[in-house]
Structure 1
Amino acid sequence: MLKKLFLIIMIGLLLQPNIYLANASTLEKTTVLNEQEQQEVENKDESQAKTSLTDYGKTINNKAEKPSTRAIEWTEEFDWSIQGFNLYAKPWLNYEYNQDITFQTKDATLGLNVGDTLEGYVDLSLTAIVDHKQATMFYGNKFMSDKIPGMYHNNVEFNFNLKAADSSAFEVKVVNVDFPDNVNPPSNTIGNKAKFYIKIKRLKKTVGKELEIPTKLTWKTSYYLQNGLTEHYIRNWQGYSYDKTYKIPLETEPTIETKDSVLYSTQSYNPKNNFVGGTDIDYNALKWDEKTMKVSGDVVDMTKPGDYKQRLTYTYVFQGKNKTVTSDYVVTVKEDKTDIKAINTTYYQGDTFDFKNGFVAAWDKDGNELPFNEEFAWIGGEATTVDMNTPGVTSVFYGLKNADNDLAYRNQTVTVLKDQSSLKTKPSTIYVGDSWIKKDNFVSATDMAGEPVEWASSAISTNGSKVDTSKPGTYKITYTYKGKFKSVDSTFTVDVIERPLEISVPDVVDFGKYSLGTRKTKLYWDDKNTITITDSAKKGWELSVQVKTNTDFSNYVYHQEQLVGTERIVIDEGKGTKVVSDELLNEELIYIDYADAKSLRTDNATFEWNITPSIKGVSE
């Protein structure tokens, strides 16, 4: 028995004083420390917390699945210099880690305003139990207890790394780490605790209901035992790690959006039209709700142009408390300058109706002048057109819609008058050889309004008519008055005839005086009293005379000693034009003979001169 043990011990002298930690897949080698190294380790802090802060997030108490307890098998080979030559047969380390650790804070959520902060802590702890199997000493003695007397120095080293999910919107950092005063766990256990104080600060507005903060916890253990029999230090046992994401509730705020509006004095103000949209605290779309949405601000007077400030307030409930969110907008009221001007119009029959003739001007709601548009005008009643062929009055309308889509219009009239265009002419007779004067056949003309039209007007046309006056004939001539809307014709005839025989005698002839009882009883025609026969056609003529009144006087009127009397007598005859009074003198013409007069007398009488075509040669 002793030889066998001695052999084992001797073999152990040849081995390096190393300690091995092993499990099924990993073997970690750790060198046994000398006394100086042991002292350095003892002087080190018993607890170490390393934090890495790069992002922000949220914390909720999610309970992770707890992994099964893990046993670490370890074997120890001793240097013979260690007092007591104690041999521990495969001690075990069972660790426990509470994975339900949460982010502790007195505030429920992180505020929604930029600069809001949330402070809390994470309380981390790890406990490991050293489970020694029954140990056999060199001298055959056994420890009757699993507890090894002596002073334990043990520690669990933590490394707690935080990683924020969105560092652009949140700042997450560890502001302090606390360790408990009593860092030594009970006998036969090792462990440590650390309280990490964390501060989260909002850097900008965000959309979301929680902030995620991913973390990673890693740890490793060290164990030191010193008693009267042995002094032993083990470090760098196999490390462990655990990932956890804390979810921090964020206060959410509804959003509402409004828009400015411009209204005109003819319109009505409705705040609903300024509401654009929004979301509630659960990010559901908001609809207009008069129960939760109220409008305040200036009283909007649609009769007074100006800017009116308005505020839409949305009331909601968060964590049992009423809260509000607002959105401001401006309602600008302008005068509606929509207007149209038109006039009554008058037309004449045959004219073409045009709405534009009655249009004066139009302006839109902003006062901008608008050109004429056919949509601005329409005919009233059931009529669809204006009857331009029948005199009468028709109602027409001019209008356009204002800012409120109501019609601003004017009622005008269209009057159709009778076209009074006219032309009157007359027939005429001219003599062969005379000139035809076209104006002589024009009587009168009027325009559509009944106003006189002069012959010289270009609206009167003779249509190129011609008359040949070199010979007798009848010509049918048409004149035309070309009015604005209609033309009027007038037809007449021009007769060209031979010029008739004409006689020219003085109106009054004074034969002079006779002295009764004297020898000169005859009173002759004075040649100054010209008698002219005109025979342009040279067809021949016959001149006769008779006394028409004072038949008693006729007893004294003679021609070539022939009593003229009351019967017609031929005085002269001829062909062509002739001045009879120049050729017929004294008894050859007519004269007065008072030879038979017995008393004083004064005579007045009317002579009727006649000239007729000569009938000589007709029978021949």
Structure 2
Amino acid sequence: MYVGDKWTAQDNFDTALDKDGNAVSYSQVEVDASQVDTTKPGIYSVMYTYEGVTTTAKVTVKAKQTTIKAHDSTIYIGDKWTAQDNFDTALDKDGNAVGFSQIEVDASQVDTTKPGIYSVMYTYEGVTTTAKVIVKEKQTTIKAHDSTIYVGDKWTAQDNFDTALDKDGNAVDFSQIEVDASQVDTTKSGIHSVTYTYEGVTTTAKVIVKAKQTINPTKPSDSINGGKKKQIVSSHRSYGIRKPKKVKAYYK
């Protein structure tokens, strides 16, 4: 038996016969169990006597090796969690390993949709241990901005990236960000999307690619009169001079 187990001297008694071979009930047997102490490990003797005949039984009291080990943990809102995540090991009273399926679990307090500190209890053969589950709010964020460039300009996805934080609020380097810039084509005008993802959080930035507007220079002579050549015609005018009238002459 094990420390703390219930025990009576009758547990070790089997049978007794009188001198005629008739069965004798336990109540007629004289018992000395004064040495037995079920609160301490040890080997104890119990004596059973009837009509001058005595027999002795040994009661071995062992220390229980029953144990359950579990650990505290920190998770974030929305994370998947089961009570088995915090369970480590369990042993029965003889020190043999016990599977999680044999453990009685009370995880009724845990709510992974709200920040808080919750208790989970694991029980086996009267032994209970408690683990804490700390549920935190995720601080994961990614910030990026829209931009405008022109056809042929150099551009990388990092140009639109601003900052990122992990679930604990620590800064995250751009090299850790998953980027999808497959839609961006800097050789053609248009509005293109770039997505930045980290730990399940995604943000999108727009890259506006514009066509370059160039102006061709014109020749000075063509710039007169809207580029039309004007034909200059010189003319001669006489001022204040009258043309002589023609006079007809008659002769005899």
Aligned residue in 2 for 1:452: 171
CA–CA separation in structure 2 for the residues paired with 1:357 and 1:461: 28
CA–CA separation in structure 2 for the residues paired with 1:494 and 1:371: 59
CA–CA separation in structure 1 for the residues paired with 2:127 and 2:54: 39
Once the two structures are superposed, the pairs formed by residues 134-533 of structure 1 within 5 Å of their partners are: 263-281=1-19, 283-289=21-27, 292-296=28-32, 299-314=35-50, 323-368=51-96, 370-379=97-106, 383=108, 386-401=110-125, 407-457=126-176, 460-481=177-198, 483=199, 487-498=200-211
- Give CA deviations for 1:275-296 in whole Å, capped at 9, x if unaligned: 112334454433321xx22222
Number of positions where the alignment pairs a residue of Structure 1 with one of Structure 2:
222
Tell whether the 8 Å contact from 2:194 to 2:205 is kept in structure 1 after alignment. yes
Aligned residue in 1 for 2:242: none
Give the Å deviation of 1:353.
1.5
Q: 1:463 to 1:285 in 2, by over 3 A?
A: farther
CA–CA separation in structure 1 for the residues paired with 2:195 and 2:118: 37
Structure 2: which amino acid aligns with 1:366? D
Structure 1: which amino acid aligns with 2:4? T
Structure 1: which amino acid aligns with 2:2? Y
Give the Å deviation of 1:431.
1.8
Q: With structure 2 as the length reference, what TM-score do the two structures score?
A: 0.76
Q: Secondary structure at the match of 1:278?
A: coil
CA–CA separation in structure 1 for the residues paired with 2:183 and 2:4: 72
Q: Is 1:539–2:215 an aligned residue pair?
A: yes
- Give CA deviations for 1:375-408 in whole Å, capped at 9, x if unaligned: 324125xx3x73323323322112211xxxxx11
CA–CA separation in structure 2 for the residues paired with 1:377 and 1:416: 23
- Give CA deviations for 1:332-373 in whole Å, capped at 9, x if unaligned: 1211222222222221122222223222332222233x1441
- Give CA deviations for 1:172-225 in whole Å, capped at 9, x if unaligned: xxxxxxxxxxxxxxxxxxxxxxxxxxxxxxxxxxxxxxxxxxxxxxxxxxxxxx
Give the Å deviation of 1:464.
4.7
Structure 2: which amino acid aligns with 1:378? V
Aligned residue in 2 for 1:612: none
CA–CA separation in structure 2 for the residues paired with 1:389 and 1:281: 76
Aligned residue in 1 for 2:236: none
Q: Whose RCO is larger (CA < 8 A, sep 6+)? A: 2
Tell whether the 8 Å contact from 1:340 to 1:363 is kept in structure 2 after alignment. yes
CA–CA separation in structure 2 for the residues paired with 1:332 and 1:462: 69
Uncovered stretches (5+) of structure 1, i.e. residues with no partner: 1-262, 315-322, 402-406, 500-536, 541-573, 576-615
- Give CA deviations for 1:6-28 in whole Å, capped at 9, x if unaligned: xxxxxxxxxxxxxxxxxxxxxxx
Q: 1:416 to 1:304 in 2, by over 3 A?
A: same
Aligned residue in 2 for 1:201: none
CA–CA separation in structure 1 for the residues paired with 2:17 and 2:135: 66
Structure 2: which amino acid aligns with 1:270? T
CA–CA separation in structure 1 for the residues paired with 2:159 and 2:82: 41
Tell whether the 8 Å contact from 2:110 to 2:120 is kept in structure 1 after alignment. no
Q: Which protein is richer in strand relative to its size? A: 1
CA–CA separation in structure 2 for the residues paired with 1:284 and 1:346: 69
- Give CA deviations for 1:430-473 in whole Å, capped at 9, x if unaligned: 1221122111111122222222222112xx33335232222432
Q: Secondary structure at the match of 1:439?
A: helix
Tell me the C-alpha RMSD between the 2 structures: 2.7
Tell whether the 8 Å contact from 1:353 to 1:386 is kept in structure 2 after alignment. no
Q: Secondary structure at the match of 2:52?
A: strand
Tell whether the 8 Å contact from 1:351 to 1:388 is kept in structure 2 after alignment. yes
CA–CA separation in structure 1 for the residues paired with 2:11 and 2:187: 95
Tell whether the 8 Å contact from 2:183 to 2:193 is kept in structure 1 after alignment. no
CA–CA separation in structure 2 for the residues paired with 1:338 and 1:349: 34
Tell whether the 8 Å contact from 1:399 to 1:408 is kept in structure 2 after alignment. yes
State which structure, 1 or 2, has the greater radius of gyration over its C-alpha atoms: 1
Tell whether the 8 Å contact from 1:269 to 1:300 is kept in structure 2 after alignment. no
Structure 2: which amino acid aligns with 1:463? D
CA–CA separation in structure 2 for the residues paired with 1:394 and 1:339: 22
Q: 1:408 to 1:389 in 2, by over 3 A?
A: same
CA–CA separation in structure 2 for the residues paired with 1:309 and 1:337: 23
Aligned residue in 1 for 2:248: none
CA–CA separation in structure 1 for the residues paired with 2:20 and 2:36: 34
Aligned residue in 2 for 1:584: none
Give the Å deviation of 1:416.
1.6
Q: Secondary structure at the match of 1:443?
A: strand
